[in-house]
Amino acid sequence: MYLRIGGGDTLFDTNTKRWKISSGINNYYNNWYNDTIPLRFTKTNINYWIEDMMPYYSCDCKQIAVKQH
């Protein structure tokens, strides 16, 4: 089962700063395997960093989500 990340509207953090989160199509990442989901997504403020007066940030993030029994 594929987990779709991002692709929607802009996300706001608790400080009202804007972020763009997206993921590509990949056969391994963002798919459910038994009780584990290897996640990969891009988090950036490239579209908003000047207006939000924040330092530029971009992350090609990888995480592992594991169901706790």
Domain ranges of the chain: 11-66
pTM of structure: 0.73
Q: Measured between alpha carbons, how far is 49 from 16 in angstroms, rounded to an integer?
A: 12
pLDDT of residue 3: 75
pLDDT of residue 62: 93
Strand runs labelled E in the chain? 11-12, 18-22, 36-44, 58-66
pLDDT of residue 27: 77
The answer, yes or no, to whether residue 56 has pLDDT greater than 80, is yes
Q: Are 44 and 37 in contact (CB under 8 A)?
A: no
